[in-house]
Chain A
Amino acid sequence: MAKKELLKVEGLKQYFPIKGGLLGRTVNHVKAVDDITFTIHEGETVSIVGESGCGKSTTGRAILRLEEPTEGKVSFNDVDLTSLSLRQMRKHRKDLQIIFQDPYASINPRQTVSDILNEAMTIQNSVPPKKRRKRIIELLETVGLNEYQADRYPHEFSGGQRQRIGIARALAVNPKLIICDEAVSALDVSIQAQVLNLLEELQEEYNLTYLFISHDLGVVRHISDRVIVMYLGKIVEIGEKEEIFEKPKHPYTKALLSAIPVPDPTHKKTHIALKGDVPSPIDPPAGCRFHTRCPFAQDKCKQEEPLLKTHRIMDETHQAACHFVEEIENGELLPRDYEIKPILN
C-alpha cells in the first residue's frame, strides 16, 4: 500500500555565514546541511542519526523554518513551506511541532503548566477559549500527569515530567508531524523508557508522524520505521530500520554501529576503529566527505562525490552514498590500514 507523503525535503541546504575581517564581511560558510533530500510518509517514524555536527538538528530546525534554509524546498502536505510568508507559516506550524532536548531550557520557568499549554492553543486558536481548561486537563492526563499539577511551575517537576510537559505543549495544537530533537537524550534510562512508550502510544492514538533526531542508536532502533544516517551535512545512507541495523552498506554506518558498546558482556564483537575526528564542516573534504576516515577510500572517493542511490545488491527502499558498495560487499575491495580489533577482556 502506497502511503501518503506527508513531508518532502528536496535539496535542502543550510549554510551559516562566518563573519570575519575588519568589515565583518562573510568570509566563509559552515555547511551544516548540504543538499539533502528525503520524504516522510504519514504515520511513520523516521529517524536522523549521526554524530555531533552532522547536521541532524539543523535539518529539523530548517524544516520548521526556525532557521531560514539557504536553499531547497520543504513541502508539507504538498504545500511548499519555504515559499510562505511568515504569517502563513505560523498557520502551518500548527501541523508541525517540535520537542526539544533540554526539558529544563525549553519551557518558560515563569509560566505555570497551564499557561504554557494555554499559550500554544491561543496562538494557534486550536481550541475555543471556553474549552481550553478542559483540554489542558485532558492533555496532562494523556501525557501521564495529573490535573492538580496544572497550576504548578516547571521547577516543581522532574526532568522526565518536564519532557512530558513539552510533549503536552506539542500536542496542544493537534499536530500531524512532531519533530523530536534528542527528546529523550537527557533522561535517565528508566525514565527514558517511560517517555518512549508514551510517544509510541500517542502515535497510535493520534496517527502522528515523527521525525526523530537522535544520536542514540538504541533509541532509534526501538522507535523508528526508517532511518537516515548523516555525516558532515550529507545523507550517507537511508533505509528501513532492519536494513540499516542488520545490513548496513555505507562504511560510515558500519563503523558507527560497531562503535556502540553492547550491553552484554558475552558479546564478542569487533570494532571497525575509525581513525581521527570528524573534519570541519567549514571546509569539508572534496569528493566523498567520509574519505578522510574511510578504510576503503580510493582515489575516486577523493574526487567524485558519490550519489545517494540504491545499488544492485540492495533492497529497493535502501540507498547509500558510496562508490564502492558492491565491491566492499563482495570482498573485492579490502580495507586498508585499519584495525578490526577484538575487545580486550
Chain B
Amino acid sequence: METNVLEVHNLRTSFYTDDGEVKAVDGVSFTLPKGKTLGIVGESGSGKSITALSILQLLASNGKIIDGEIRFKGENLIGYSDRKMRDIRGNAISMIFQEPMTSLNPVFTIGQQISESLIKHQKLSKRDALLKSVDLLKLVGIPSPEARVRNYPYELSGGMRQRVMIAMALACDPEILIADEPTTALDVTIQAQILQLIKELQHRLGMSVVFITHDLGVVAETCDYVAVMYAGQVVEYSDVFTIFKEPKHPYTIGLLNSLPRHDMEQDKLEPIRGNVPNVRDMPIGCRFSPRCPAATDLCRAELPELSKDDKGNDVRCWIYSDNWDGEMEVNVYGEKRIAQGRGVKAVFSD
C-alpha cells in the first residue's frame, strides 16, 4: 500500500513588508507518496521556492506560515518548536539549493561542511564524521574523495560543487530530499550527470524527492507526480503522464504550448498572452483569468477551489466544476472544446 510521506494542505505563507502583506504562497496542496518524486513547476515568482522553504520553516524573519498543514509521516510540522524543527532539518528532510557557488561556505573545507550535520545529528566524532564524508563523496561520484575532502569550494567546478551539496544533504539518510532547481546553473551535460545521480541514489536509499524546477523537460524525466503552480497557488496536481498528455488547467496547457522543443519541429509557438500578475495586486477571481483564453465572468469574479476531477487528479479551474453551468464553446489555444459542467474534455493534442 502506498503511504504518503508528505502531505501539504492549503498552505499559506505571507511576508510582511513595509508595503504590506505579500501572499507568496496562497493555497498549496499536494501529496508525496513514499519513494516517489514530486515535481513542483512554475515560473519565477509562482511561489515554488517559498513552498519548499515553508516545509522546512526556513523563512526570513518577516515571513510567516499563516494557514495550512504540512504533514510529515502523518505529523503536522506546523507548530513544531525551533528545536524540534532543527532535528528534522538536514536529518529527516534535507534540501539542496540552486546555487552551488553560494550555498557552500567558502572558508571551510568541504569535509568540514559535510561533517557538520553528522556531528550534530548523528553524534559522530570529528574523525568518524570525516571518514563518513569520504564515503559520501564516493557515493556521489567524486573522484579521489580522500583528497577532495580537504578542498575548499573554490577548488571545485560547478558540477562537483553540486555533488558536494548532494553529499551534504544525504549525510543523515534523509527520508525526503527537497531539491530546489539543483541543475539550473549547470550545463546540460553536467545536468544529465546530476539528474542521473539523484535518480540512482533515490533508488538505492529509498528516499522521496521534491523537485522544484521551471524546466518541464527535467520534470518529465525525473518526476512521478507534478504540482503546477501559478501566482502562489497549485493550479493542477496529478501524475506526470496526465500532466503532459492530458493537461487540464489552461495555464498548464499554455505552458506546454509555449515550450520550444529540441526533439521535434514546431511551426509557431503559442505563448500565453500578458504577464504574471503582481503579488500585491492579485486578480479577484481566478488568478489566471486575465491571461486565460477561456475565462468567463464567473472566472473573473470568483476564485475556484483546487478540487478533484473524475480521475482523482486536482485542478483549480471552473470549467471542471459543477458551477460551470450550461454549454459553452471554449477556445483553448487554437483547439475548440465544448465545455459543460464536468463534461469538458481538455485533450492536449500532440
Q: Which residues of A contact B (CB under 8 A)?
A: 51-52, 158, 160-161, 188-194, 196-197, 200, 215-223, 245, 255-267, 271, 273-274, 277-278, 341, 343-344
Contact = CB atoms under 8 A, between A and B. Distances in A.
Interface in B172-202: 187-193, 195-196, 199-200
Contact of B219 (A51, A218, A263, A271): A263
Nearest to A339: B196
B244 A265 contact: yes
Contacts of B203: 344
Interface string B74-116: 0000000000000000000000000000000000000000000
Contacts of A161: 275
A188 B214 contact: yes
B261 A190 contact: no
B146 interface: no
Contacts of A200: 268
Nearest to B199: A344
B260 A222 contact: yes
B262 A197 contact: no
Nearest to A157: B275
Nearest to B222: A261
Contact of B269 (A222, A259, A278): A222
Contacts of A260: 188, 217, 262-263
Interface string B24-39: 0000000000000000
Contacts of B244: 263-266
Given A51-B189, A267-B220, A261 B195 contact: yes
Interface in B260-283: 260-263, 265-266, 268-273, 275-276
Interface stretch (B122-130, B250-258, B339-347): B250-258
Contacts, number: 138
Contact of B260 (A160, A219, A259, A262): A219
Interface string B195-216: 1100110010000000000111
Query: Chain B's interface: helix, strand, loop or mixed, by majority?
Result: helix
A260 B257 CA distance: 18
Contacts of A267: 220, 263
Nearest to B157: A277
Contacts of A343: 196, 199, 221
A271 B345 CA distance: 35
Contact of A189 (B43, B159, B188): B43
B193 A273 contact: yes
A263 B217 contact: yes
B217 A256 contact: no
A262 B188 contact: no
- Residue in B160, B192, B259 with the greatest tally of chain A CB atoms within 10 Å: B192
A343 B202 CA distance: 13
6 closest pairs, A vs B, by CB?
A: A261-B217, A193-B271, A193-B258, A188-B43, A51-B187, A222-B260
Given A197-B271, A220-B262, 13 more contacts: A188-B276, A191-B275, A193-B270, A196-B269, A215-B188, A216-B260, A217-B262, A218-B261, A260-B217, A260-B262, A263-B217, A273-B192, A274-B189
A261 to B, nearest CB: 3
A282 B268 CA distance: 41
Given A196-B269, A257-B262, A260-B262, A265 B195 contact: no
B271 A262 contact: no
Contacts of B273: 194
B157 A261 contact: no
Nearest to B191: A259
Given A273-B196, A277-B157, A193 B187 contact: no
A220 B188 CA distance: 14
- Residue in A51, A160, A261, A274 with the greatest tally of chain B CB atoms within 10 Å: A261
B188 to A, nearest CB: 4
A266 B241 contact: yes
A271 B258 contact: no
Nearest to A274: B189
A193 B212 CA distance: 22
A218 B220 contact: no
Contacts of B263: 260, 262, 264, 267
A262 B157 contact: no
B70 interface: no
A309 B265 CA distance: 26
Contacts of B187: 51-52, 215, 278
A241 B134 CA distance: 45
A342 B163 CA distance: 21
Nearest to B45: A188
Nearest to B241: A265
A189 B214 contact: yes
Contacts of B258: 189-190, 192-193
B323 interface: no
A217 B263 CA distance: 9
Contacts of B275: 158, 160-161, 191
B98 to A, nearest CB: 14
Contacts of B3: none
Given A189-B255, A190-B254, A193-B269, A259 B189 contact: yes
B240 interface: yes
B218 interface: yes
Contacts of B191: 259, 261
